[in-house]
Homo-oligomer: A and B are copies of this chain.
Amino acid sequence: MIKIGIVGGTGYTGVELLRLLAAHPDAELSLITSRSEAGLPVAEMFPNLRGHVDLAFSEPDPEALAACDLVFFATPNGVAMQSVPALLAAGVRVIDLAADFRLKDTGEWAQWYGQPHACPEVLAEAVYGLPEVNREAIRSARLIANPGCYPTAVQLGLLPLLEQGGIEPDRIIADCKSGVSGAGRKASVATLLCETSESFKAYAVPGHRHWPEIRQGLNTVADGVGLTFVPHLVPMLRGIHATLYATLTDAGADLQALFEQRYADEPFVDVLPAGSHPETRSVKGANTCRIAVHRPQDGDTVVILSVIDNLVKGAAGQAVQNMNIMFGLPEQAGLEGIALVP
């Protein structure tokens, strides 16, 4: 059994991580910390966990965390980087579900997150935890930067063509839509039901923190990536739908075959039959990314549709997938839950 600690965990990523780990055959949930909720039984905050998680939130305790095999950070941005160096030094492996270790360029990190990076040397060794790209590096990593939700959906949709030079890299459009859980569980007017239900809007068009993350990922496989990224808020709980547009370099390529081959051995990427339109609900609660590829009017614009559950493949599920890889477990362990429809 892997002895696990969670730092944070009062948000939606946290409760989802608890749901997955509580049912994982090789995970032993050892402690979960929350300064604000110390003493509160986890299942009192999240009644769905009654009978499955007996822990209470506890005050952060470096010694207790240092006794874990693996610590997940499900904290706001900027928290993990304060504690990770000490944990690594104590021999603990770490998966950060926040953004502290996602951008390799500390200047860029500081610019987008509004503070200097606290541990550039640790940042350098962090592995970006997108298994479909970095599986080998993840195996031996001490520190995983778990990807953002939008970046997961967008990169998985674009990689097959971009890796092959199949699209022009300089004018990629990622029109993305997310359920409201992506905004987190904090008191806020903007994400009240009465502010978000029965409405649809774009946000952060001038600039969103996932833009440099996606661009960095795409730039590792192609030069000269130019990306326009527009996120939107969908009146639903879970789910991300990325609609991706690019210009094909070879309009005659067999796109369907290309995608199917790229992901043939991937347990969590499902390329749908030609002509499909994936629904976000088809992955609700599941660690799957479903993708379809289209070429409307047989033109040279490719349209790729990529859906994930932002809390699973876009957060907690991918974190568990990374854990499985790091600890030599079957990659699908604890992740075989089927999406809930309807």
Residues in A lying within 8 Å of B, measured CB to CB: 12, 15, 19, 22-23, 46-52, 171, 173, 175, 177, 179-181, 185-189, 191-203, 205-207, 226, 228-230, 232, 234-239, 241, 243, 245, 247, 270, 272, 275, 277-286, 288, 290, 294, 296-297, 299, 301, 303, 305, 307, 336-342
Contacts and interface: CB of A to CB of B under 8 A. Distances in A.
A112 to B, nearest CB: 12
The count of identical subunits is 4
A342 B207 contact: no
Given A192-B191, A202-B241, A338 B48 contact: yes
B339 A278 contact: no
Contacts of A305: 201-202, 205
B294 A22 contact: no
Contacts of A235: 193, 234-236
A206 B284 contact: no
Nearest to A302: B228
A205 B302 CA distance: 11
Contacts of A46: 341
18 contacts: A48-B283, A186-B189, A188-B192, A191-B194, A195-B342, A198-B198, A199-B280, A199-B284, A200-B279, A203-B277, A205-B277, A205-B294, A205-B303, A228-B245, A229-B296, A245-B245, A285-B340, A337-B337
Contacts of A279: 47, 199-201
Given A199-B236, A232-B241, 18 more contacts: A19-B340, A23-B338, A48-B283, A50-B270, A51-B288, A173-B301, A175-B243, A177-B232, A180-B197, A181-B194, A181-B342, A187-B187, A192-B192, A193-B196, A198-B281, A199-B279, A202-B305, A206-B275
